[in-house]
Amino acid sequence: MAAKPDYKKYGFIPQRQKGLLLMRLRNCAGNASAEDLRKIAALAEKFGSGEVHFTVRQGVEIPGVPEERFEEALQAILDAGLQHAVCGLRVRPVMVCPGNSTCPYGLVDTNSLGKLLDKDYVGKDLPAKTKFTVCGCANACTKPQGHDVGFRGAAEPLLKKESCIRCGACVKRCPAKAMSLESGELVIDYQKCLSCGVCVRLCPKKALQTGREGYHIYVGGKGGRYTQEGKIVAEFIAEKEVPKYLDAILAVYEDIGEKGQRLNAVMSRYGLRNFQKRMEKKLGDQ
């Protein structure tokens, strides 16, 4: 009897109904054109049940694909100019929020980073399934703290004292309560500050300006049955620097992670500081 294909490598998942597959497609940075949607509908009608399910991680599932049509369906995805998803012990498709392209709170160009991650990392074999997400601000809509590696846009506020009129607008509106007026002077508690950019946007005299900006990088988050919150391992990393940090993180993971062991388990076993030391050494070796 011939061995079955590695369905998961191409984003096909056996359904609970024997002989049927879920066909998973991936988009790039959470986006799809109207033409892409028409092609997806055609695939669902030709190979599946005619239904389409949108997953919580922005993927697309077409249920009801007969196993014997796997190769035909896979080729149809490629012929349509679409991308199949990937499953199994590898980097999964990236989840991305709109960022500063449309969202009023967005601080960074999440689409740009999402496309880079999609191109260079999705499908990479690792000790276990590994999920990335990108979000544009501290609202964390795509839950960077709950993924194996999460990237959150951040912008540090800096005060130009000579321009500040001590109106208190930033004190009232700061989500983290990191602003205060003490002896008539504005004080920023950077231990509380979320680097969300709210105070910079609303300051009437532009006394608050953006200092460092980029991505905070979280490692070791996990959702599901047993949740764990990821920890920040680097702050205000520019997009062009993200790949070297991510390469260092994944290199450590490949060195010390056991097969089937998610990054959260590696972090729990070795500890945040030990992991960071290993990561810093990898960065130094690049």
pLDDT at 50 exceeding the cut of 70 = yes
Q: How confident is the model at residue 4 (pLDDT cuts 50, 70, 90)?
A: confident
Query: Quick count: other Cβ atoms within 10 Å of Cβ 46?
Result: 14
Q: What is the pLDDT of residues 202-234, one digit of tens each?
A: 999 999 999 999 999 999 999 999 999 999 999
pLDDT of residue 152: 98
Distance CA 145, CA 276 (A): 17
Q: What is the pLDDT of residues 184-193, one digit of tens each?
A: 899 999 999 9
Separation in Å, CA 130 to CA 138, 238, 267: 22, 22, 14
Distance CA 230, CA 218 (A): 5
Q: How confident is the model at residue 5 (pLDDT cuts 50, 70, 90)?
A: confident
Quote the tokens at residue 17.
């109904």
Query: Quick count: other Cβ atoms within 10 Å of Cβ 256?
Result: 15
Q: What is the pLDDT of residues 108-165, one digit of tens each?
A: 999 999 999 999 999 999 999 999 999 999 999 999 999 999 999 999 999 999 999 9
DSSP-derived letter for residue 68 is G
pLDDT of residue 2: 63
Average pLDDT of the residues in 61-80: 97
Q: How confident is the model at residue 1 (pLDDT cuts 50, 70, 90)?
A: low
Quick one: how far is CA 40 from the chain centroid? 24
Phi then psi dihedrals of residue 258, to 5 deg: -90, 155
Which 3-state string (H, E, C) describes 194-243?
A: CCCCHHHHHCCCCCEEEEEEEEEEEECCECCCCCECCEEEEEEECHHHHH
Quick one: how far is CA 120 from the chain centroid? 14
Distance CA 20, CA 184 (A): 69
Kind of pairing, strands 95-96 and 132-135? parallel
Q: Which of 117, 77, 72 is nearest to 94 (CA)?
A: 117
Quick one: how far is CA 98 from the chain centroid? 12
DSSP-derived letter for residue 188 is E
pTM: 0.94
pLDDT of residue 3: 75
Phi then psi dihedrals of residue 250, to 5 deg: -70, -30
